[in-house]
Structure 1
Amino acid sequence: MSSSYIPLQPATLSFDDAGHPFSASYGDVYHSRTDALGQAEQVFLRGNDLPRRWQGRARFTVCETGFGLGLNFLALWRAWRADPRRVARLHVVSIEGHPLERGALRAAWDRHLPRELRALADFLVEQWPQRLPGLHRLEFEDGAVTLTLAFGEAAAVAPRLSAHVDAYFLDGFAPSRNPAMWSPEMLGVLARLAAPDATLATWCSVGHVRRTLAAAGFEIKREQGYGKLHMTVGRRAAQAVPGPALPCADPAPVLVIGAGLAGAGVAQALALRGRQVTVLAPDDDAGAHRGHLAAALTPVIARDDNPRARLSRAGSLRALHRWAGLDQAVRRCGTLQLERDVGRAAALSEALSCLAFPEDWARFVDAGQAGRLAGLPVARGGVYFRDGLLVRPDRLVAALLSRPGVTRRAGMVACIRPAAGMWQACDARGLVLAEADQVVLACAAQAPALLRASGLLDPFLPRLAQMHALAGEVTQIPACALRGGPHCIVGGEGYLLPEVQGWCVAGSTYVHGAARAEAGAAGQRVNLDKAAGLLDAGAGLALRGLPAGDLPGWAGWRAVLPGRLPAIGPLAHADGVWLATGYASRGLSWSALGGDLIAAWLCGEPLPLETDLIAQILPR
């Protein structure tokens, strides 16, 4: 286990003699013992001059240290609802090192939540995330109110946040109980996110905290707080260290080139935020995924929770949220991920124990348990992911592109060029097909050629220049040959999917240097053998006896970059041009995440991914 990985531990919630929520770990109460709502309104809202400061704005961002029981967020949300001149979009980023489990949160609220907040609390608990490290984006009021929960130790999480903060709620346990939360390093990191007119408020008025905040660039005052207590308020000083540049939030339409999983993910994310999107592609259907019966989305885990594993987890969680309700395209059936042999399975079990992920997200199962989950005898044990998704790719793409605000147009783009502050997409004859201030290239393996023809590839993007197209195929197996097929996705060296329209999809092949992507006898034999290796000897023998070459299937291309991570984000050398490409064999993993990342960037929101992970996927 890497020394940098710190398992996320849940809060140890108890109640004092008067029934107030109390942290046994820190020896401190979660909020005022007299009137929690009154404290939130007096200290954090009035201390930041809210709601007056957000009135008339397009967006406003609050950063909170210590989410706790969520009372400050609920009070803020309540004030936003009550204000007829409220900000159009309210974003809250809240750091929490020890998140409560859903049941514990409900228990605390049942005993001590002000009546005025209970209806909003019900909406919050419905979306309450699993106890997994990283950023969790929750959305309310049709996306007008967002909550980004940053789960992890504050010292590790805070430097990875990207936001343009208008107001700070400095909460959490007392400096004497949790000094790391109030350290000069921590407050300095947070201050670097401050907008030019940012304010702060906290119930804490001890001298060294006020001096630290002043040193971080705020003009600090000690004022009468809630009840008989004092509080601290501050406003960013005129000569403070510059904060982040104001994010782009131009509401103009966006042009997306490409109508596959990447382009559809971007289009959906922008449309959900009220942006008009034109999607330009050679045809008006699912294109590359036509005939692709089914695919799987499953996160990966690594013993050290490395960037690839963290990105995969973030992508699967975004997809689960973004695709909720698309029942004709997406089914949550769970995934059973098997290792290649018993020794590797034992190592995986040990790694999972060290990672301390919640068992309702991932748990190790032995061969017997795995067989019962799959409904078929399997070769060995492995990890069961409850949230594994079975996806109909063509239906998913069609559903995402059918959002109001998305317009689809047919056309083959040969290059893009700047003209009068816009980017024009042109065909091979130089005719303009569409134009926009912002253009997203989501055209898979065609992206390098398009960039080169536009003068934007060499020498700026050496990694993109190494992209190659990798062919592969999947095979459809009659479900009756597998007693109806597995109940969940079974993955490992290959995969076998639950029944769809009488067929179980098995995959997949990887063919380097292919001239065409096509299904055939050789590829079908590879897929049948891979699927057979996931099952016990008897079930595997039945698969190996099927006639390779006579089965239906699908073949396509993967756009692969060195390192097999995608390229998502802005081009540093071409303002207004973005990439969402190189999704390789994990297009489902990156579709929703890439879309939300680009859309949040364009709309001036806190980014839903940590900066160190963004650095891994920026175009280069």
Structure 2
Amino acid sequence: MTATDVTKTPEGDEPRPAGEITWRDGDVPYSPHFGDIYFNPNDGLAETRYVFVEGNNLPNAWQARENFVIGETGFGTGLNFLAAWQCWDADANRSKRLHFVSVEKYPLARDDMIRAHQSWPELSQYSEQLAHIWPHETMLPGVHRFSLADGAISLTLLIGDAIECWSGYDGKIDCWFLDGFAPSRNPDMWHPDLFAALASASNPDGATLATFTAARIARDGLESADFKVSKRKGFGYKRDMITASFSAPEDATGLPDTFEIADDPWFNLPRTQSAKSVAIIGGGLAGAACANALRARGCAITLFEKSDQLANAASGNPIGMLEPYLTVDDAIMGRFYEAGYRFSHRMIKKLSDQGRVDADFCGVIDLATSARKRERLDGLIARLGDKPDLVEALDADQASERFGLPLPHGGVFYPSAGWVNPPSVVRSLADGIDVHLSTTITSINDADQGKYLTDQNGSEYGPFDAVIIAGAFETRLLDQTRWLEDHLNPVRGQISFIPEDVVSDVSEDGAIKCVLSHKGYVTPARDGMLVVGATFGRDDAETDLRPDDHAFNIAQLGKVLPEIAEKLTTDMLDGRASLRTTTADHLPLIGPAPDFGAYLASYSDIDKGKKGARYVDAPYHKDVYICTGFGARGLIGAPLAAEILASEICDMPLPLEKALMHAIHPARFIIRGLKRRQITA
């Protein structure tokens, strides 16, 4: 949001909510809270091109690059992003891909953004694409990843405070657009901690920076973070602006005090080159999502599945709930699955709109079936009750009307949610991929040319630049992941199929209108049947269909829909049983495969409390990655996991903040075990 240093708050204005905007000069948004406009109304686009694009030596800086990453401190209306995109698009020698990572504490509503874009008709072909992918719903704090220009451009938005977001993100930024409301209007942002965070997130091989202001708070702050600062003629009437450059010292002992040394090198990701060929082991949702994400980055993919068809395990259920995992607090698991849901929802909605996936965004009712559940849902409404586009409180009558049948309790309604046919998602994501069915990979081996895989018949495949192990419980059978035997647990789940006419006999409308989530779940009809489920058989690795499990599902259904349950018997039901793979902390394993023995040797005394800087970087099985452990949340976890791994393998900006990346890192169980002295070298 390119700001001016001269806009004054009108006398008599009362303090306004920080995210509120008004309009000036037609389509220029103005923040009453900060007393500043979002862009220069005379020629904001020309100022952006002069200050940020030319100030960072664009387009020259990105030419002949595989990837180029721009970081920004205030997304605002997206003007800087659109101008950079247009410049990149017009350059015949541009980088293969452009990544734009920006912070915004108060994201504009979609309609407000569209209105602001009317000021720049010359950017319409880009602004229309941005408006198309901009969420209709409230954007919660966290990292939001969007894809544009057929995957050639990624937009990563960090929603929250600029200092907190950039301090918690590992960006490898090539150039900075240091933008935001003017220092005189928003001094809290122009803080030494921000400049230190920008230095930490900069590409260690060098980064540039440009900003519209030459205020001392900016000059001093950048210099304190070891940026080399220069002045340049400012735009229009402004006398000066700042450009700067940053290079990380080769020796860590030469780092400035503000440059943070990682306290947890055991989670540092390996530095990679862009992979050209990748093997994926596992043909479920996780494997197919990884294949799709890497193919979008230009990789050649070979997918291996031990069964005779894709989506043969838990991903083969005919209907799965696409339900958000919203939490009362800021717990790690909630933050990960919040991010996962919004990523999955965007992806599946796009595929559904294209007719490639069978889904219905009819909404999900989450029923308050106990006092404890009621307390949790009340807390959720206390947190998000002013955002009915995300979640809405319902009493029993309202819930019954939404559902189409009488319900005994109220709860909450998730309007964007619904159901999806997982096999159709897997088929769509794997379409055009080189797939080897009935192929059980038994080993991953190293050679000079890369990775080679061997199957159960002794056949060899390769070479590959990288391998992703995206299977389920069988992940523990490979040498690189055998140590996970103590950390992956099978959970059997059986679902039951109910004929649609059973419901029509008790429903005036003849149909259930949305998905119901209680201690189990029930879906609307698809192909003449409803799905009811599901059982949770811990440490049960069998997939036979059991009458006792049908009886359990009927009993659970009877607690909320007794009229339907009393019409059911176990012998009239068909169903399906499959295995989910879970972990002790209910978070998946996503990231490079740790070398278990080398971890023990490297960090054997980690329990002594030494600083992380005293230890070596994490030792991995080179170019081997893990993607498993989603339990019952594969639909809202696997697509984001695939985006994470594709970004890691291709050395691109990550779609999650560091705290969450560490929480899902496969080595977390090794580190916890060493710190607690539960395992020893």
Common fold: TM-score over 0.5:
yes
Cα deviations across residues 286-306 of structure 1 (Å, max 9, x unaligned)?
222586221112112221131
Counterparts of 2:567 and 2:247, CA distance in 1: 75
Give the alignment of 1:104-503 within 5 angstroms.
104-110=112-118, 113-129=119-135, 130=137, 131-195=139-203, 196-229=205-238, 230-237=240-247, 239=249, 241=255, 247-286=271-310, 287-289=312-314, 292-323=317-348, 324-326=350-352, 327=355, 328-341=357-370, 344-345=373-374, 347-355=376-384, 358-402=387-431, 404-420=432-448, 422-428=450-456, 430-450=458-478, 454=479, 456-458=481-483, 465-483=486-504, 484-503=510-529
Secondary structure of the corresponding residue to residue 254 of structure 1: strand
- The residue number in structure 1 matching 2:605 is none
Which amino acid is 2:229 matched to?
A: I
Q: 1:542 aligns with which of 558, 561, 564?
A: 564
The letter of the residue matching 1:415 is: S
1:277/1:294 CA distance change after superposition, 3 Å = same
Q: 2:550 aligns with which of 524, 538, 541?
A: 524
Which sections of structure 2, spanning at least 5 residues, go unmatched? 1-16, 261-267, 505-509, 595-619, 668-681
CA distance in 2, matches of 1:601, 1:406: 22
Deviations 1:257-316 (CA, angstroms, capped at 9, x unpaired):
010111111111111222111011123412225862211121122211311111111111
Q: Cα deviation per residue 1:412-469 (whole Å; 9 max; x = unaligned)?
A: 112222222522222346542444221100111001122xxx25544xx5xx532121
Q: Return the offset for 1:357.
A: 6.3
Give secondary structure in 1 for the equivalent of 2:87: helix
Counterpart CA distance in 1 for 2:29 and 2:521 is: 47
Cα drift, residue 343 of structure 1: 6.9
* Aligned equivalent of 1:588, options 635, 638, 646: 635
**Deviation per CA, 1:497-529, whole angstroms, max 9, x where unpaired?**
110111000000011343522222211111122
Once the two structures are superposed, what CA deviation does each residue of 1:41-71 show, in whole Å capped at 9, x if it has no partner?
A: 0000010011111111111000011111111
Provide the C-alpha distance between the structure 2 equivalents of 1:291 and 1:575, rounded to a whole number of angstroms. 32
Amino acid in structure 2 at the alignment position of 1:512? R
Give the SS at the match of 1:575. strand
> 1:380 is paired with a residue of what secondary structure?
coil
CA distance in 1, matches of 2:292, 2:464: 17
| Separation in structure 2 between the aligned mates of residue 333 and residue 406 of structure 1, nearest angstrom | 34
Q: Give the alignment's TM-score, normalised by structure 2.
A: 0.84
Q: In structure 2, how many angstroms separate the alpha carbons of the residues matched to 1:284 and 1:147?
A: 38
Contact 1:471 1:512 (8 Å CA) reproduced: yes
Provide closer, same or farther for how the CA distance between residues 499 and 102 of structure 1 changes in structure 2, counting only shifts above 3 A: same
- Structure-2 change in CA distance of 1:54 and 1:522 (3 Å): same
In 2, the alpha carbon distance for the partners of 1:570 and 1:78 equals 35
Q: Do 1:163 and 1:607's aligned partners in 2 also have CA atoms closer than 8 Å?
A: yes
- Residue number in structure 2 paired with 1:21: 29
Picking from 586, 593, 596, the partner of 1:564 is: 586
AA aligned to 1:219 is K
Query: Residue 272 of structure 2 aligns to a residue in which SS?
Result: coil
Contact in 2 for aligned 1:330/1:392 (Cα 8 Å): yes
Residue type of the partner of 2:490?
A
**What is the one-letter code of the residue matched to 1:486?**
I
Take 2:327 and 2:26, find their aligned partners in 1: how far apart are those partners? 44
Is the CA contact (8 Å cut-off) linking 2:166 and 2:201 kept in structure 1?
no
Paired position in structure 2 for 1:576: 623
Q: Which moved more, 1:479-488 or 1:283-292?
A: 283-292
Amino acid of the structure 1 residue aligned with 2:527? Q
Deviation at 1:534?
A: 3.0
Contact preservation (8 Å) 1:137, 1:148: yes
- 2:631 pairs with 1:606: no
Q: Secondary structure at the match of 2:76?
A: coil
CA contact (8 A) 2:475 2:481 kept: no
Report the Cα distance in structure 2 between the residues aligned to 1:19 and 1:418, rounded to whole angstroms: 59
Q: Does 1:83 align with 2:105?
A: no
**Counterpart AA for 1:338:** L
TM-score w.r.t. length of structure 1: 0.91
**Conservation of the 8 A alpha-carbon contact between 2:276 and 2:298:** no
The one-letter code sitting in structure 2 at the alignment partner of 1:297 is L
C-alpha distance in 2 between matches for 1:611 and 1:40: 30
Instruction: Say if 2:18 and 2:31, in contact at 8 Å, map to a contact too.
Output: no
* Cα deviation 1:317-355 (Å, max 9, x = unaligned): 111222222444333221111122367436523432324
Deviations 1:530-567 (A, max 9, x none): 223233xxxx2331331113311000111121112110
Provide the rounded CA distance (Å) in 2 between the counterparts of 1:593 and 1:455.
Answer: 23
User: Distance in 2 between the 1:523 and 1:552 partners?
Assistant: 11
Does structure 2 conserve the Cα–Cα contact (< 8 Å) formed by 1:10 and 1:101? no
Question: Residue 549 of structure 1: SS of its match in structure 2?
Answer: helix
CA distance in structure 1 between the partners assigned to 2:47 and 2:494 by the alignment: 60
Aligned residue type for 1:491: S
Question: What's the secondary structure of 1:554's corresponding residue?
Answer: strand
**1:3 equivalent in structure 2:** none
Tell me which moved more, 347-356 or 219-228. Answer: 347-356
Q: What amino acid is aligned across from residue 179 of structure 1 in structure 2?
A: P
In the alignment, residue 416 of structure 2 is paired with which amino acid?
D
| Equivalent pair of 1:218/1:234 in contact (CA under 8 Å) | yes
SS of corresponding position for 1:209? helix
In 2, the alpha carbon distance for the partners of 1:165 and 1:329 equals 39
Instruction: Say what the alpha-carbon RMSD is for the aligned residues.
Output: 2.2
Helix, strand or coil at the partner of 2:557: helix
**In the alignment, is the contact (CA less than 8 A) between 1:490 and 1:534 conserved in 2?**
no
Tell me the distance in 2 between the aligned counterparts of 1:133 and 1:377.
Answer: 36
User: Do 1:61 and 1:90's aligned partners in 2 also have CA atoms closer than 8 Å?
Assistant: yes
